[in-house]
């Protein structure tokens, strides 16, 4: 077989790798600066709008003209002119820098070949997953790889805090507080049944009877307003139940005030909250979309567009597995190749299907096509003369396709996987330049 077997890539591209990391770090810093600037930018924009409306709706000679003389109008406009572009530009440019190096790689091999699956999965997790999004076809075996576990935990926690904590606080305050107050009135009414019954029976009720009946409830309310829980009043009596409800109402009122304060404080943070919410949605979408199934050409075309769109996002699946029906697998290869920057083809176990993929994609991508394989099996292929009596049509066709090419090989031991992951990163950097 007239091809060259290589274990390592001679160029590690330290400069390009460093530049990618620096640009990603700079993008992250710009994003943080933009989100931070958005906090004062929101009230600054509101203040500017209020000042402009005041100028338009009042006469300069009006003693109540807006804005007041003591309002620092120049400083407000200066803050608005600086913070608003910084917030918008920081977020937009930061996100663009974070996503600028993302490209998609189409990985193909014989369905169910576990060694290739292990090698490429290891490389995605260790070296290439940050800069390249990999998509592959499979029947049932290959496991997809979504967003990193740490990122999922961070945004899941943020989503829970932003959604459920405020929801619980709002429920305790806005929903429970009026219910508790109504129940307290009902308990008080029950406590006044006895003097009311005496009044209904005799038509006369002494003031002391009403006073004695209502005095425990007034003492409980006064204790709550003083900030002292009426624990001494608790017991299996109506005043005891009233005391319990009064303490619950106080807690509910505090929760309602805290929820309102949180909403007021969250208004200047609306940009950050929107970013965190959309990022959490992107993480969840990435997890849902890391494995797709298609059975028709229309579904393949839509899936290819969706995979390409997600590959350019900050949070996206690192390895997408597209489970495709056998009758349309060639259409799937063609559609995915149209949205990929280069292909990665494993020839360890060459079949007619693998060779069709190799021939089709080398015609399309030329020297950018990356060929890999298991060292033991590729070495056996390389040692077999193309005109040997025992060579098959597949092997002869493979010899023609690989003429003059390099095949990056891997071994399945730990050291071999690390070596392959580093070499594949360097090779992808070279071919995608």
Q: Return the CATH number at 332.
A: 3.40.50
Provide the domain count of the chain.
3
Among the three residues 271, 300, 332, which one is the final residue of a domain in this structure? 271
- Residue 278 inside a domain? The answer is no
Mean pLDDT of residues grouped by 10 in the chain (433 residues)?
82 80 86 83 79 68 62 83 88 82 86 83 87 79 56 55 54 66 80 71 61 78 80 84 84 70 58 61 64 85 86 76 85 91 90 90 90 89 63 77 88 92 91 78
* 209 within some domain: yes
Q: For residues 9 and 122, give the distance between their C-alpha atoms in angstroms, rounded to a whole number.
A: 17
Q: Do residue 61 and residue 164 come from a single domain?
A: no
pLDDT for position 274: 60
Distance CA 407, CA 109 (A): 14
Radius of gyration of the chain (CA): 35
Token reading at 124: 């995605």
Answer yes or no: do 223 and 357 share one domain.
Answer: no
Those residues whose C-beta lies under 8 Å from the C-beta of residue 255, and which sit 6 or more positions away, are 169, 172, 173
Q: How far apart are CA 368 and CA 428, in angstroms?
A: 9
Q: Report the predicted TM-score, pTM, of the whole model to 2 decimal places.
A: 0.63
> Residue 414: its pLDDT value, please?
92
* 143 DSSP 8-state letter: P
* Domain identity same for 77 and 106: no
Whole-number Cα distances in Å, 366 to 3, 134, 330, 358:
15, 19, 19, 10
Distance CA 304, CA 296 (A): 12
Domain span holding position 385: 102-146+290-433
Q: Indicate the pairing of strand 370-374 with strand 4-6.
A: unpaired
Query: What is the spatial distance between Cα 315 and Cα 306, in angstroms, rounded to a whole number?
Result: 14
87 and 208 assigned to the same domain: no
Is the same domain home to 162 and 238?
A: yes
Same domain, residue pair 424 and 300: yes
Please state the φ and ψ torsions of residue 349, each to the nearest 5 degrees: -120, 85
In angstroms, rounded to a whole number, what is the distance separating the alpha carbons of residues 251 and 254?
5
Q: Which two tokens stand for residue 7?
A: 């274990």
368 part of a folded domain: yes
Note whether 303 and 433 are same-domain residues: yes
> Tell me, what's the pLDDT at 109?
86
Last residue of a domain, one of 66, 101, 136: 101
Residue 284 tokens, joined = 């969840």
| Residue 306 in tokens | 């969706």
Within-domain flag for 174: yes
Whether residues 306 and 215 fall in one domain: no
- Which contacts of 67-73 are long-range, i.e. CB under 8 A and separated by 24 or more positions? none
The per-residue pLDDT for 46 is 74
Residues 177 and 237 in one domain: yes
- Examine residue 1 and state whether it is found in any structural domain, yes or no: no
Instruction: Examine the domain organization and report whether 134 and 194 are in the same domain.
Output: no
Residues in the chain: 433
Beta sheet of 406-410, edge-to-edge order: 4-6, 406-410, 370-374, 342-346, 103-108, 132-138, 319-324, 291-294
Is residue 432 in a domain?
Answer: yes
The reply to whether 390 falls in a domain is: yes
Predicted pLDDT of residue 209: 66
Q: Please report whether residue 326 resides in a domain.
A: yes
| 93 and 111 within one domain | no
Residues 84 and 118 in one domain: no
pLDDT of residue 334: 92
* Domain end point (choices 271, 304, 321): 271
């Amino acid at each position: 077989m007239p091809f060259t077997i290589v274990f390592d890539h001679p160029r590690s591209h330290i400069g390009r790798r460093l530049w990618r990391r620096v640009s990603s770090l700079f993008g992250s810093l710009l994003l943080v600066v933009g989100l931070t600037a958005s906090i004062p930018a929101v009230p600054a924009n509101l203040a500017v709008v209020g000042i402009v409306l005041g100028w338009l709706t009042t006469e300069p000679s009006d003693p109540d003209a807006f804005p007041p003389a003591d309002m620092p109008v120049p400083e407000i406009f200066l803050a608005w002119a600086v913070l608003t572009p910084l917030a918008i530009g920081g977020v937009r440019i930061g996100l663009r820098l974070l996503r600028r190096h993302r490209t998609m790689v189409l990985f193909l091999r014989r369905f169910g070949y576990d060694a290739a699956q292990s090698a490429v999965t290891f490389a995605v997790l260790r070296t290439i997953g940050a800069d390249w999004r990999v998509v592959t076809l499979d029947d049932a075996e290959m496991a997809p790889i979504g967003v990193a576990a740490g990122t999922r935990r961070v945004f899941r926690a943020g989503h829970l805090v932003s959604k459920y904590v405020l929801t619980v606080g709002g429920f305790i305050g806005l929903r429970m507080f009026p219910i508790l107050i109504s129940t307290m009135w009902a308990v008080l009414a029950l406590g006044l049944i006895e003097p009311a019954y005496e009044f209904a029976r005799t038509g006369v009720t002494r003031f002391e009877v009403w006073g004695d009946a209502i005095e425990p409830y007034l003492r409980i309310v006064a204790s709550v307003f003083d900030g002292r829980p009426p624990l001494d009043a608790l017991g299996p009596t109506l005043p005891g139940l009233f005391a319990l409800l009064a303490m619950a109402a106080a807690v509910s009122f505090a929760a309602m005030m805290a929820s309102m304060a949180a909403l007021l404080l969250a208004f200047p943070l609306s940009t950050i909250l929107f970013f965190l919410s959309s990022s959490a949605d992107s993480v969840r979408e990435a997890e849902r979309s890391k494995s797709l199934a298609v059975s028709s050409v229309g579904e393949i075309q839509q899936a290819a567009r969706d995979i390409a769109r997600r590959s350019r996002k900050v949070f996206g699946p690192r390895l997408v597995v597209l489970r495709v029906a056998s009758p349309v697998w060639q259409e799937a290869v063609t559609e995915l190749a149209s949205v990929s920057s280069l292909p990665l083809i494993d020839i360890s176990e060459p079949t007619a299907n693998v060779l069709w993929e190799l021939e089709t994609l080398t015609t399309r991508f030329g020297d950018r096509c990356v060929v890999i394989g298991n060292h033991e099996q590729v070495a056996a292929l390389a040692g077999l003369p193309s005109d040997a009596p025992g060579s098959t049509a597949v092997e002869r066709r493979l010899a023609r396709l690989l003429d003059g090419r390099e095949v990056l090989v891997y071994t399945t031991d730990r050291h071999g996987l690390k070596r392959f992951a580093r070499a594949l990163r360097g090779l992808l950097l070279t071919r995608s330049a």
